[in-house]
Amino acid sequence: MKSILRDKALRLFLILGAFFITNALVAEFIGVKIFALEASLGLASWEFNLFGETGGLMFTAGAILWPIVFILTDIINEYFGTKGVKMLSYITIGLISYAFLMIFGAIHLVPPEWWVKAGVESGVPDMQAAFTQIFGQSNWIIVGSLIAFGVGQIVDALVFKQVRVKFGEKKIWLRATLSTLVSQFIDSFVVLYIAFVLGPQQWPMSRFFAVGTVNYGYKILMAILLIPLLYFFRMLINNYLGDKEANKLRKLAVHG
């Protein structure tokens, strides 16, 4: 009997799904770090002025990985349709929630005294406090990011499909860009509103709009710059599957 794992389409879905989930999961955890873009590139601070807020270009470290998630979302949608994207998005939300629960459990485990002081020589006087500070993200941030991710992914999948049906099979750049424009507008502002406006920090609306606009602009810029990568991955997948199987999957994706 032929092993189900020898099916190329299934193996492709497993590989894409693994990278999709891993990138989203890692982005959630490294997102606690904020970095200054200009300083990281060795440039002078831009000092933008938006909605009365001023400052340099600062992003969460997770912003580095989200554009990869966008690309993977479009590739999965191209070959496995909205059902494939929704399935992986729901799994990802479940696994991120599970991971946070395990981390919260780990935070409340009582450490031995020697471990608490183990980082003193490296400049970390309290390892337990450092562990809690880094991994113990605010519940508002977790809830906001999960809601924004879930809604954004579903909207992305639906817009991608509608543009594909309306404009045809060839314009992958158009459906990828338009779906990202809509979904990331939702994602960029929903997470900030829940985490920092409704949350304990109580951001003023001027800061909410300024930070949201900068983050949204970055995501759209990266989505456009990565379009050639989208075509490159599509070429690799078509070569791997063969034209007949690739066309079959894309047709099923449209009607599935």
Instruction: Kindly provide the b/e burial profile for residues 196-219, where b requires at least 16 CB atoms within 10 angstroms of the residue's own CB.
Output: bbebeeebeeebbbbbbbbbbebb
Domain of 71?
A: 4-255
Do 32 and 137 touch, CB atoms closer than 8 A? yes
Q: What percent of the chain has pLDDT over 70?
A: 97
Structural domain tally of the chain?
1
Neighbour count for residue 231 (Cβ, 10 Å): 12
Residue 50 CB burial class (10 angstroms; 0-12, 13-18, ≥19) = middle
Residue 2 pLDDT > 70? no
φ, ψ (nearest 5 deg) of residue 36: -90, 115
Mean pLDDT on 14-33: 89
Mean pLDDT on 231-246: 90
- Residue 256's pLDDT band, with cuts at 50, 70 and 90, is low
Do 207 and 53 touch, CB atoms closer than 8 A? yes
pLDDT (0 to 100) of residue 236:
93
| More confidently predicted of 138 and 23 | 23
Do 156 and 182 touch, CB atoms closer than 8 A? yes
CA-to-CA distance for 168 and 171, rounded, in angstroms? 7
Residue range 215-229, pLDDT digits in tens: 888 888 888 888 898
- Residue 3's pLDDT band, with cuts at 50, 70 and 90, is low
Model-wide pTM > 0.95: no
CA-to-CA distance for 95 and 97, rounded, in angstroms? 5
Q: Left if phi > 0, otherwise alpha if psi is -120 to 50, otherwise beta: which for 235?
A: alpha
Q: Residue 58 half-sphere exposure, CB side, CA atoms within 13 Å?
A: 12
Q: Which residues pair with 48 in a beta bridge?
A: 55
Residue range 41-66, pLDDT digits in tens: 888 887 778 787 777 777 778 888 88
Residue range 69-98, pLDDT digits in tens: 888 999 999 999 889 999 999 999 999 999
- Residue 178's pLDDT band, with cuts at 50, 70 and 90, is confident
Residue 33 pLDDT > 90? no
Residue range 101-149, pLDDT digits in tens: 999 999 999 999 999 999 898 899 999 999 988 887 767 778 888 888 8
| More confidently predicted of 94 and 190 | 94
Question: What is the residue-averaged pLDDT of the chain?
Answer: 86
- Residue 1's pLDDT band, with cuts at 50, 70 and 90, is very low
Neighbour count for residue 181 (Cβ, 10 Å): 16
Residue 49 CB burial class (10 angstroms; 0-12, 13-18, ≥19) = exposed
pLDDT (0 to 100) of residue 19:
95
CA dihedral over 34, 36, 177, 12, signed as positive or negative: negative
